[in-house]
Structure formats: C-alpha cells, structure tokens
Structure 1
Amino acid sequence: MAAISEEEEAKLERFLDWLQVNGAELGGCNIKYSDSRKGFGIFASTETSDDVLLVVPLDLAITPMRVLQDPLLGPECQKMFQDGQVDDRFLIILFLTFERLRINSSWKPYLDMLPTRFGNPLWFSDDDILELNGTNLYHATELQKKNLLSLYHDKVEVLVKNLLILDGDSQSKVSFEHFLWANSVFWSRALNIPLPHSFVFPQSQDDIGECPSTSHSPETAPVNSNEEKGNLACNYNFMRSGDTIWVEGLVPGIDFCNHDLKPMATWEVDGTGSVSRVPFSMYLLSAVAQRLIPNKEISISYGNKGNEELLYLYGFVIDNNPDDYLMVHYPVEAIPIIPFSDSKGQLLEAQNAQLRCLLPKSVLNHGFFPQTTSTIRESDEKETERSCNFSWSGQRKMPSYMNKLVFREDFMTGLRTIAMQEEEINKVSAMLEELVESRPGEQPSETEVRMAVWEACGDSGALQLLVDLLNAKMMKLEENSGTEEQDARLLEEACVLESHEEARDLDGRRMSRNKWSSVVYRRGQKQLTRLFLKEAEYALHLALSSDY
C-alpha cells in the first residue's frame, strides 16, 4: 500500500466524512490508497468481525432518476429523454460532467476522489494507440472517440455552459475532456443495481404528481432530503423482473472495490434492512470463509471478462487472463458480392444463422487440444451443442468429431451457408420444396432448413472458410505488431512505468503502462487465434476425411 500526499489525504478525509454524513457505515473496512494503477481501494479494518463490511444507502446512488429530478438538469434531460434523443447512460454521464464543474457541488467530496485520467484506449496518446493497430480495439476506439466528440458538440457543450450560467458560474469552461472523463467514470464504475420496486415507487401512482425538486446543499450536508422520496420514476424506462427494477448507476463507496480473479467480497441490495440494518441500502459482504486479514485489500469480481473488455471499459488487463476470448466474424458487407448472395441471404435468415462468434478461452478444454490452464464452464459446453443431430436422408453420417468442435453451431450454420456452391443450393431448394409439397400451407422450420443445408454441404466448406478467417485475422495482427513471440519478449524485457503517462528517455525496455496493457492484450489475441486456428484446421482435416 503506497503513501499519498497530504492533499490526497485531505480529500480522503473529506470523502469519508461525506459518506458518514450521508448514512454510509464502514464497519469492517477502510478506504485507502492502493497504488498508482488501482488508485484508491477498500481494505479490511482491524475491527472486522462482521461479514457486512460496508453499507451505503441507495439514496446516495447516482441513477437516471436522480438526474431527471435535478432542478437544473432535470427539465432539459426529461425533454431529451422523452424524445428518445438520449439514453439513461447519457443522463448519468451528463450529470457527472456538470457536477464536476460546479463550484459548490454537493458531490464534490466524492468527485474529487475519482481518477482524473484513465487507462482505457480513449485516453491513449497517438503513439500508444498505434500499439493496438490490427486488433478489434483499434477501430472500436477510433469510432467511439468520434461518436463521443459528436455527442459532446451536439448535446453537451452548449447545455452545460448554459446550466453553469444558470447556476451563477460564468467562469468555468466545459471541454471535451470533461465529458470524456465522465464517460470513463461511468463505464468503469457503474453497477447494474437491482432496486426494490417499493424504493423506486414509494407511493401509489394516484399520489404521485410532478417530480419534486431538491436544492443542492453544501458539501458537508446530506445530498438527499425527505422531499425527494416522491416519484423516482419520472418517466424512466425500467428493466423489471418481478419486484426488482434493474437500474444502472454509481454507488459511492462501493465503487472503490477493485477487481480480482479471486474476489474476497460481493455486493448485495437490502430492501428491508434485515441484513445491513439500513433499509434500501447496498452492502459489501465478505465472500471468504475465514476472517479477513487486517489491511488486506478487499476485491470483488467485475465478471468473467476478457482483456478486450477490461481494457476498453476499465483501463487494465490481466496477464494470462483465464477469461480471455476471441471474436471472429464474417464481414456482413461482403455478402452482397458473394455468388448467389440473394439465395444465401434468404437461407441465413431462415436459419437464424450468426456471422460472428465469441470464442472463450475456456472452451479449448472441450476441443481436440485441451488447454490445462483454463476450466470449461457449463455455459461454454452448451454453446458447442449441435441443434440438428441427424441426417435428412440418412446418407450423411454425424461426424465423429462433433463433440470436440469448439465453434458454436449457429456460427457454423452461417459459414456453411456462405460457403455453399451452386449445386448445394439447388439441392437444398429441392429438399425444402419437397417438404413444403408434403405439408401444404406450412413452411420449413429453422431446424429443418439447417438440416437441409448440413445434408447438402457438410462441414468442410464452413471449416475451410473459418480457417481462412482465422488466418486473415492472424495476418492482420502480425502485420501491425509482429508475432506472438516478439510480444512475449517485449513483456519479458519491459520495465513498466507504474502510471498512464508516456515513458520518457525510452531505452527499448522502459514501457508505459498503456503500452504494456496493449501488448498483453494483443499477445493474448494472437495466442487465441493460433489455438483456435489449430482446432479449425484439425476439424477441417477430419471433415474432409469423413465427407462422402
């Protein structure tokens, strides 16, 4: 645990006081500085005796409902939201942008604790972003930055400027970096919160009028008032499941938990206070059997996320990530120029075929060449099951390799259709016409069309196309950044700077944290491409051997 400056220490003290004033309880943990990569984190305290480590009232959560109720932001946001111009995530990002610039924001103790820069590719320098060239993230980042710039100029810049003037501040200037900061805060810290229905709708609909207004209090006072417990819905569109309404938002305090593959805690929502003793609260719960070691960082899991998602959203990667994955796709824009594109397009639609496939590292344990470093999950096994497991005419036998094929059947269905030759299309048409004639007024089902296509084509054409796609992917990765072995050497020799700033006086070994993250991510993509290519090539060999 690293030391921090007096200024950072003072910010932390103000934030802890702010949490306490707003009803949060840090019974079994403390918030402390972790390191330059993680920033602040949550650590077990010496007094830890209860499984409930931290409790935060849901009134403190930053949700779309809060934004729509804001006396300054609310009217403008409701107008844009009801017209479908923006979504619920934009509301929170706009709120963060505005509150960061407000001189007397009641959220200042919290916002001052958040990072000012991030490790996701949107914050990369021009040199660092080139390290991603050839990967999915390179173009995704370019496109996202372009979209954010457009959104900022179209909907944020003038609105925030006018709101600041209404708030009595004509000096503060909003910039794209403020909006970029708020976007990164949201995507790296937001939770999908299962709010109790009675919290979102505390009154009967007959009693609810317009959304109440609340004035912003000084930073030493609570951010909520009792008047705010009116209509929290405010025309917001919820995802509802029974008595639970799922809402994305930030929960100050809980959001300082960092990610780990072996989490020590999890968070839960308590609608009645039966566990946390605070009704309508979120609490951090120990997930380990033994008592937590004092001053040890308490981590949670952000989910089974590959390095592509971790880097893009959270700004970090995990070396040798067991949850890594590879995205393979056939370009949709190429369909109009392939032979018999109209017929193939109709067949793709009839089969509900997919032209992209997410390949988790863990499914390799189910394949021809198992990887002992990862474990197969039940969900991965289900993805490999074939939807039709018998031949249309009995002439084509089910291949012996079927249970070892790691590629999803709906993706294989798409590739089979794309790779079809003219005689195969004619054969499928004849089989389906015969079926329709035998059942007047009834169209072939999705499974029946898939059976006909497989009967006519087998797997060899699809697997050859898959091999070509994986070879093209590897070529693109290596063309821009060298081989997997070269990346491995770079990482072995690198002296990584523990910040997101660019390395100075580079001697070939010193490496910025951003570059290191990029190399770890792209090496993982090359490794997975190599391993899945090996699977596809062996399956192709078996398919060619078994075709009649």
Structure 2
Amino acid sequence: MGKKSKKQKEKVSTTPPGVKELSKNAKRHLTEYTTQLIQACMVQPEPGQKEFEYYLQIHELVEKIRALQTDIKCPILEREKHFGEYLEWLRQNGVDTSRVEIKEFSEDQGGYGLKATKDLEENEPFISVPKKIMITTESAKASVLGPLIANDRILGAMPSVVLALHLINERRTSDSFWGPYINVMPENVSNPLYFTPDDIKLLKGSPAQKKFHVSFQQDANAAKLPIKDCFTFDDYRWAASIVMARQNQIPAKNDSRYDFVLIPMWDMCNHCNGTISTEYDIEKDCLECFAMRSYKKDEQIFMFYGARSNAEFLVHNGFVYPDNELDRTAIKLGISKGDPMFDKKTELLAKLQLPPISIRWGHYFSWRSRRPQDHGVVRLCSSRKR
C-alpha cells in the first residue's frame, strides 16, 4: 500500500474533561433503548391497569438507560460548599444582599431559605435581581445551543425544555458565567420524575420523560455542545425538575411576549399563603421583591408562589403545603350515555355552548373556574405604585 496523500484529521471529542466516554457497545445499546423509549412514548395507553403497565414498560427502559449512563452523568452538587462563592458572585454583579442571608431552616419550614438580617416593614424591598445574571431562554439562544434551538421544532415550541437544556449545558461548562449559581442548586429534587413504581401506584398516574439523545447524535448543530456525548437521563431529569420548580416569566426584548427565566437568590425564598409581592421593573430591567408582611431580624422571609393546589405544588415544585388556603381538586362532570335523556340533555348543553363532559375545580365547597394566570409569581410593572 502506498502512503496516504492527505493527513487524517484527528477526531475532536466534545466530552468535557474528566468524563468517561461510553464504549461502542454501550453507545449501540443506548441508541437501541432510546429508540424503544421514544416509540413507547408515542403510544396512547388505555386508562386503568393498562396505563400502569405502560408506565412499567417506560420505567424499565429508563432504568436500562440510566444503568448505561452511570459513569458519564454530572458530578454531584455540594451546594453548602459554594454559598460563599455564590454570594460574592451576586455582589460582583450588582445584587445587594445586605437585607438577607441564606440559612438552612427545619424541613417543615422548607429547608434552605432566606433569613432577614434586619427588621423589614411590609412592602419594603429586600432583593433586586438584574436580568443580566438570570438564566434565560434569551441567553440560551445566544449560546452554543442557538443553532439547534432555531432548527428544532420541539425546542422552538417548548421554552421550558430550552431552559432545561441550557442549564445542563452550562453545568457541563467549566468556566460558565452561571457556575456559582448552578453550584448552589439542590442536587436532590422530590417531584414525580423521581418517583418509584410504588410511589406511582399511590398516585395512580404515570409521568413520562422525553429524550433528546438521538437529536444530539444526528443534528450537525449539536456537534460542539458540551453535552453531546454525555447527555444523560439523570442530568436531564434534574434540569427539568429545577426548571419546573423555579422558572418564571419576564418581559422579553425580542418579538416574544415573555422570556422564561431562572432567577438567582430570589428563588431561595420558600412559599407561604399571601399575595404576589414580586414585580419586574421594565425601565431598570430588573426584578424586585418586596416583603409580603413585616419581618423581624432573623425571621425567615417567605413569598407567595401563586394560586396552586397541593397536587400542582407536588408536580411542579416537589412539595405539598398543609396550610394551603387555595387547595382545590378537579371533579369530572358529565352525562352518562346510559341516561335515557342523554340526547336531549346533550342537545341542551350544545345550545348553552357547554361540553357534555367537563372539569370543574372545587375550592372549599364552592365552585370556581381554574385560572392559569393565577399561577404566575411575578407581576409586571414599569414602576412600583405604593
């Protein structure tokens, strides 16, 4: 054989330093299980026992994927070691933390939260966060993820997924601007994405998780992503859980109406009954949070997360609030097909522009309609009206 006329190009690895690469055999199995998982997720299960059997099928595939990815998932976060670095990062970026400090409270008080370092009056501002330090869908589009977001229909329509992928990508980037913020995020999250089959039996439900593994392997726009060769189920589950619990919406500068964001320091506040006390100042381009009531020095400062039922708190935030004044439940109302008056009742409902089957939300024995706008935590304003 003659000598090669052109020098072979070395393959450039996108795997972050210190992360093992999967063997060819493991990659083959991973692609196989991921394909099976995607196909399984496209099936509409029958209600009842069949639905749980479907969940078990999904769970088995996910566990096979997790077993293959054990050595390539992100290192465990040890948030307690990084609070000092985090507070310094906040101060360097214009966040005044003189009125609050991070403290670990008892589990029934929410764990880590914000403690007042001085007496606070009701409506007194205690934290202001500029947009420039938030993790946003806008910053995701300006990152290495930008081309992938622009060309992927799913990402184009799902800002929460964009935020989750942005979060994992920055966690895998050693010199990320948001590193000090990510390092103090909780490692353990207790929402339904982490439930076992026994937990699901108690809830009689079946959450499913979509995967982007195939897209990262096939899309040319993903070639330089730090997560291309180490995108794991566990990492995505963590990021999706963080986003579900902490994301919010603020005004966007582009054509979009809102930008989905993660807000440093402000998201350390735990929930209690009350009213929304956070506003976004468009002129200053920053978020401002005001004391919901007066607080004494060393008291924990709470905020109101919005009008969510305990079921919604469990799914989105991973906790239930026993004293929830706005707890409610959904009741399915409809006309039985065995009703001898079914046709006439259905006709009457059609004239009233009401569906024959609908969901109503019960709240302390009174009926009220579910209002999605109640779920927001931030009220938008150009200036504060006292």
How far apart, in 1, do the equivalents of 2:214 and 2:157 lie? 11
- Alignment-mate amino acid for residue 260 of structure 2: E
How far apart, in 1, do the equivalents of 2:175 and 2:220 lie? 16
Show the counterpart of 1:179: 236
Q: Equivalent residues in 2 for 1:12-27 (5 A)?
A: 12-27=83-98
Of structures 1 and 2, the one with the larger relative CO (CA 8 A, separation 6+) is 2
Give a deviation string over 1:15-45, Cα, whole Å, max 9, x none: 1111122221113111223345734211101
Bigger radius of gyration among the two: 1
Give the CA deviation at 1:12. Answer: 0.5
Give a deviation string over 1:260-309, Cα, whole Å, max 9, x none: 1247x82111233xxxxxx2111221122x4x212211110111221111
Within the candidate set 150, 158, 171, 2:217 is matched to 158
The number of residues matched between the two structures is: 289
Give the CA deviation at 1:162. Answer: 7.6
SS in 1 for 2:314: helix
* Alpha-carbon spacing, 1:76–1:152, altered in 2? closer, same or farther (3 Å): closer
- Alignment-mate amino acid for residue 234 of structure 2: E
How far apart, in 1, do the equivalents of 2:132 and 2:114 lie? 21
- Preserved CA contact (<8 Å) 1:101 1:174: no
Give a deviation string over 1:401-420, Cα, whole Å, max 9, x none: xxxxxxxxxxxxxxxxxxxx
How far apart, in 2, do the equivalents of 1:262 and 1:311 lie? 19
SS in 1 for 2:243: helix
- Preserved CA contact (<8 Å) 2:82 2:183: yes
Q: TM-score, normalised by structure 2?
A: 0.65
- Alignment-mate amino acid for residue 280 of structure 1: D
Show the counterpart of 1:256: 268
Show the counterpart of 1:266: 277
Show the counterpart of 1:282: 287
- Alignment-mate amino acid for residue 316 of structure 2: L
- Preserved CA contact (<8 Å) 1:31 1:43: yes
Within the candidate set 308, 324, 330, 2:311 is matched to 308
- Preserved CA contact (<8 Å) 1:325 1:361: yes
Show the counterpart of 1:237: 256
Give the CA deviation at 1:168. Answer: 6.7
How far apart, in 2, do the equivalents of 1:307 and 1:93 lie? 24
- Preserved CA contact (<8 Å) 2:331 2:361: yes
Structure 1 residue ranges without an equivalent (≥5): 1-6, 202-232, 239-245, 273-278, 367-379, 384-548
How far apart, in 1, do the equivalents of 2:85 and 2:362 lie? 43
* Alpha-carbon spacing, 1:101–1:43, altered in 2? closer, same or farther (3 Å): same
SS in 2 for 1:104: coil
SS in 1 for 2:114: strand
Show the counterpart of 1:362: 364
- Preserved CA contact (<8 Å) 1:23 1:57: yes
Q: Equivalent residues in 2 for 1:128-527 (5 A)?
A: 128-133=199-204, 138=205, 142=206, 144-145=207-208, 148-149=209-210, 151-153=211-213, 155=215, 157-158=216-217, 163=222, 166=224, 173-193=230-250, 195=251, 200-201=252-253, 233=254, 237-238=256-257, 246-262=258-274, 266-272=277-283, 279-288=284-293, 290=294, 292-319=295-322, 321-330=324-333, 348-354=349-355, 355-364=357-366, 380=368
SS in 2 for 1:117: coil
* Alpha-carbon spacing, 1:262–1:10, altered in 2? closer, same or farther (3 Å): same
Show the counterpart of 1:99: 170
- Alignment-mate amino acid for residue 288 of structure 2: Y
How far apart, in 2, do the equivalents of 1:47 and 1:326 lie? 38
How far apart, in 2, do the equivalents of 1:102 and 1:84 lie? 21
- Alignment-mate amino acid for residue 179 of structure 1: Y
- Alignment-mate amino acid for residue 127 of structure 1: D
How far apart, in 2, do the equivalents of 1:27 and 1:159 lie? 49
Within the candidate set 112, 123, 128, 2:183 is matched to 112
How far apart, in 2, do the equivalents of 1:120 and 1:65 lie? 27
Show the counterpart of 2:131: 58
Show the counterpart of 1:80: 152
Give the CA deviation at 1:75. Answer: 1.3
SS in 1 for 2:198: helix
Show the counterpart of 1:45: 117
Give the CA deviation at 1:343. Answer: 7.3
TM-align CA RMSD: 3.3
* Alpha-carbon spacing, 1:75–1:331, altered in 2? closer, same or farther (3 Å): farther
Give the CA deviation at 1:325. Answer: 1.2
SS in 2 for 1:131: helix
How far apart, in 2, do the equivalents of 1:340 and 1:248 lie? 48
Give the CA deviation at 1:161. Answer: 11
- Alignment-mate amino acid for residue 233 of structure 2: F
Give a deviation string over 1:443-490, Cα, whole Å, max 9, x none: xxxxxxxxxxxxxxxxxxxxxxxxxxxxxxxxxxxxxxxxxxxxxxxx
Structure 2 residue ranges without an equivalent (≥5): 1-77, 370-386
Give the CA deviation at 1:258. Answer: 0.8
SS in 1 for 2:277: strand
How far apart, in 1, do the equivalents of 2:79 and 2:139 lie? 28
- Preserved CA contact (<8 Å) 2:173 2:226: no
- Preserved CA contact (<8 Å) 2:164 2:243: yes
SS in 2 for 1:166: coil
Show the counterpart of 1:206: none
SS in 2 for 1:14: helix
* Alpha-carbon spacing, 1:178–1:312, altered in 2? closer, same or farther (3 Å): same
Give the CA deviation at 1:185. Answer: 0.8
- Preserved CA contact (<8 Å) 1:27 1:52: no
- Between structures 1 and 2, the one with greater strand share: 2
Give the CA deviation at 1:319. Answer: 2.3
How far apart, in 1, do the equivalents of 2:227 and 2:167 lie? 17
- Preserved CA contact (<8 Å) 2:120 2:297: yes
SS in 2 for 1:311: helix
